[in-house]
Amino acid sequence: MINGRRLLAIFKARNIEFFRDKSALTWNLAFPVLILIGFSFIFGGEQRAEYKVGVLGGDSSALAALPFHDTRFVDFVDYDQAPEAERKLQQHRLDLLIDPAARQYWVNEESPKSYLAEQLLLGGSQDFQRTPMTGRPIRYVDWVVPGIIGMNMMFSCLFGVGYVIVRYRKNGVLKRLKATPVTAMEFVSAQVLSRLLIVLVFSAVIYIGCDFLLDFYMAGSWRDLLLIATLGAFSLISLGLLVASRSQSEELTGGLLNFASWPMMFLSGVWFSLEGAPHWVQQMAQTLPLTHLIDGARAIMSDGAGLADISYQITMLVGMSALFLVLAAFLFKWHPD
C-alpha cells in the first residue's frame, strides 16, 4: 500500500531539485517559444504555392472526369465524407471541394486561392453547381503548434525521467532509498507525478504565452485538450521509466532515449502531415505515443473534436501507458550491478 506522506516527500524533493536547475528551467521555457516564433515569421505570411482540391467519393477514377485533372501544381485529395472536407475548405486547408457525381463544387469566398481554383474548374466546364462557404484560415503555425509543444513534452518526459533515474542509480541514491521504508511503487509514482506536473505547467505557460502573441486557432474544449495532454505526457513518462528501469550508464540511456525520440519526432506528424505517406509508414506511426497525443490535440484545436471523436487516441494512450508501466515495474532495479 502506498504511503501518502512518503510519496509527497519524494514528490516535493524532486520538484525542488528541478526548479533549482536554472539551465533546465530556461531550456524548457525558451526552446519551444523560439521555435514557434520562428515558424510564425517563416510561414505566417503568404500561403504556399500549390493548390489543393478535395474530391468527394473517395474514387481516384473520378479525377479523370474533372476538366483540369492533369493541370500542374494542383494536388487532388479524395474524401469519403463531406463534413471533414467542408471544414478544411472553411479553414483554408483546401482550395476547392468538388463532387463529380453530383456536378457540384464548394468554394471559399474569402480565399484568393479558392477563387483561382474555381476559375480553373469553370474554364473547362460550366455545368457545376456552385456552393459558397466562408471561414477563418488555419495558418501553418496553428497547425504546427500541437506538434512543437508535443515534441517539447516528449523530450521533457523522456530525458527528464530517464536521466534522473539513471543518475540516482549510478550515484547510489536508489540504493540508499531501498534501505528506507520507501517502496518502489512510492518512488516511481512520485517521479511520475512530479514530472507530469512540471510538463503540464510548462506546456500550459508556453501555450498561453505564445497564444497571446500569435492568437492560435482553437475550435474545441480546453478541458478535452488538457485531458489528451495529460494522457500523452503520462504515456511518455512511462516510456522514459521503461527505458531507465535497469540501465546504469548515462551514455547508454542517452542513446536509448534518442532511439525512442527521433522516430517519434519524424513519424508522429510534428512538422508535416503523413496523409500522403506510404501505408506502412502510417501504420508504424500508430505505434508511437506522440502520434496519438498530436493527432488528438490537433483534432480538438483545429476540428473542434470532442472526447468521443478522439476515443481511439485516448484508448491507445491509456493502453500504452499501462504496458510501459507494467514492463518498467517488472524490470526496475534499485542498485547497479
Question: pLDDT of 29-84, one tens digit each?
Answer: 676 677 666 656 655 554 454 688 888 876 656 666 666 666 777 778 888 888 88
Check if the beta carbon of residue 264 is closer than 8 Å to that of residue 274: no
18: CB partners within 8 A, 6+ apart: 24, 25, 160, 194, 198
Query: By three-state DSSP, how is residue 248 classified?
Result: coil
Retrieve residue 306's grid coordinates. Answer: 470532442
127-164 pLDDT, tens digit each = 777 778 777 777 777 888 888 889 889 988 888 888 78
Q: What is the DSSP letter of 244?
A: T
pLDDT, greater one: 255 or 107: 107
Q: Which residue has the higher pLDDT, 184 or 324?
A: 324
Residues 199-251: tens digit of each pLDDT:
998 888 888 887 887 788 888 899 999 999 999 999 999 998 888 887 777 77
Q: Which residues share a beta bridge with 78? A: 55
Mean pLDDT of 86-93: 83
The per-residue pLDDT of the chain, averaged, comes to: 81
Check if the beta carbon of residue 77 is closer than 8 Å to that of residue 54. yes
Percent of the chain with pLDDT over 70: 85
Given a contact cutoff of 8 angstroms between Cβ atoms, the answer to whether 298 and 143 are in contact is: yes
